[in-house]
Amino acid sequence: MFPVVQFLIQGFSFWLVIQVSRTLKLPSGVRIQEIIEGEGREAHEGDLVELNYVCRRANGYFVHSTVDQFSGESSPVKLFLDDNDVIEGLKEVLLGMKAGGKRRALIPPSVGYINETLKPIPDEFGPRRSLLSHVNEPLVFEVQLLKVL
């Protein structure tokens, strides 16, 4: 439920609904903001999921995305939600998320790309190099869960 404020202007009564953007901070330091809850299947440990994402530095600078910013075409990635394959912070973001949902998360380096084999990672040399040059700083992921397979 959002806070509601009533105010009067020249004898007219108005109601204003204030939407507050809240984030959930996990014990690992990951901060999650639910943008769209989703209505499909919920993702669990060990599931194969298909998703689109945009990765940015904490200052907002673009790093990598599965969605082309000009054409809007996407190249979704498939990830197994296990301990060995995916960066821990992103896995925490995806667990409990429902298909069709969208979340934004700030992932600290301690649960980010702690090695170069963790996914998601771009296939192309330039984007991969760009991403790996920022592994020691927090990254912002905006994730849209397309399917739980």
Question: How far is residue 57 from each of residues 52, 72, 97, 123, measured CA to CA in Å?
Answer: 17, 21, 23, 19
Residues in a beta bridge with 25: 31
* 99: containing domain: 22-148
- On the question of pLDDT at 83 being above 80, the answer is no
Domain count of the fold of the chain? 1
Identify whether 123 is part of a domain: yes
Identify whether 15 is part of a domain: no
Residue-wise burial string across 51-72, b where 16 or more C-beta atoms lie within 10 A, e elsewhere: bbbbbbeeeeeebbbbeeeeee
Residue 69 — left, alpha, or beta (φ > 0 → left; ψ -120 to 50 → alpha)? alpha
Identify whether 6 is part of a domain: no
Identify whether 85 is part of a domain: yes
Q: Give the domain CATH number at 50.
A: 3.10.50.40
Identify whether 91 is part of a domain: yes
Question: How confident is the model over 86-128, as pLDDT tens digits?
Answer: 999 999 999 999 999 999 999 999 999 999 899 999 989 998 9
Identify whether 127 is part of a domain: yes
